[in-house]
Structure 1
Amino acid sequence: MLLKVKNLNAGYGFLNVLWDVSLNIGKGEFVALIGPNGAGKSTVMKSISGLLPPKSGTITFDGQVINNQDCAVNCRSGLSYISEELNLFTGMTILENLEMGAQMLEDKNKARENLDFVFELFPRLEERISQYAGTLSGGERKMLAIARGLMSNPTMVLVDEPSLGLAPQVTDEVFNALRLLNRQGLTILLVEQNVTKTLKFSSRAYILEKGKVVLEGPSSELITNDHVRKIYLGT
């Protein structure tokens, strides 16, 4: 397993949000984390990335326990977090944002290769290379956030709500890009509200409710599960 989360408990101050959450993700997998608003999905992502220290439990990435490691250290180890907030440098251009994403790379030739790759993945970004991030549309910002996360040459990406607020056509572009990245070997953990599309694109999924994993399995099976169909698919 590339990522192992065992009995994770996490929260904010005295408030506990996650209760004994366990996840296992193998190298090259595309795994989804699904659940209603407030279930704790983003808290899982923040705990794994290093932004939120766990209260208890173990998080292991590529054989190393990373419970108390800083987010920047995890990024250098190959774990990239693309948050729901995006956290772009709005006063910088697209190119400058992407260059910031590659700062941890010592190999400048690899940084150039990664830049070419993300422009191939999102041609719209290359067309607007000198445009300030703060002037981009919502879809372009999502593309830039994903592209910047790829610039560090990660082994695995944590992607939080990539389709939030996007038009259907742009959502399709983002999901197709994630599927292409996965087919090229990138491991993905995806948090997403669009359950139907998520289960069609991912290979496995975990269902998180009230801070606990209540279901897990192949996405092709979960999409026909009575609980999932009733609560998340409205059928």
Structure 2
Amino acid sequence: MGRLQNRTALVTGASRGIGRGIAQRLAADGAVVAVNYATNEAAAKETVAIIEEAGGRAFAVPSQLGRPGAVTELLTRVEAGLVELTGEKRLDILVNNAAATGFAGAGPDAVTEEIIDNCYNVNAKAPFFLIQQALRLIPDGGRIINVSSGVTHSTFPRQIAYAMSKAALEQITLHMAPVLAPRRITINTVAPGVTNNGDPVFSDPEAVKHMSALSVFNRVGEVDDVADIVAFVASDDARWMTGAFVDATGGTLLS
């Protein structure tokens, strides 16, 4: 029996990459997983199919976070899916993984209001209101995990808008921890570093060599490296940890 047996989870941005890996791992540990996606329905259904083929249970829920009304829309659909699969609306684990990078080579001189707004709307505003509205579904002893990034603790000017918004997400973790503690709900940040999320750049040997050098392990991270850490934070084993920043960068931040 998995350590998340009889638990339920929502993973935002779970149609591919790190989000898909997290959804798969939580399902492998026994959780019923709501797989959120923005626009790629086929990829989300593929995530669900992978989970089901492995013996797990999952369902896809569309909602393009960052748009007005998207959070309410998402939770309404999650409730319906949970009732259908479990008979209850209870949501034990919330993983805020969906993200807008705002990258596109936009250093400080190229950042626009549109880039800033998109990053903050998806990476900070949506997670805040998702937590706020989901608390009616989360039981005492629940888990909230915000997926940030190592760029908030390092220097990467070309990702300044993304880093700013992810730093805001980390502040949600910090300031919500004492608010949620009376209900034994933990909230923590997991921050991946360079992770092979299926982006075409990871097919370029020279790019991978350069990125690998950033880690003390001299390799890029794999999705499972991050998903395993999230699964631990979501489990009862992490009950005494809240408000924490969990470095999942493979030692990238040590130098």
TM exceeding 0.5: no
More helix by share: 2
More strand by share: 1
Q: TM-score, normalised by structure 2?
A: 0.27
Higher RCO structure, 1 or 2 (CA under 8 Å, sep 6+): 1
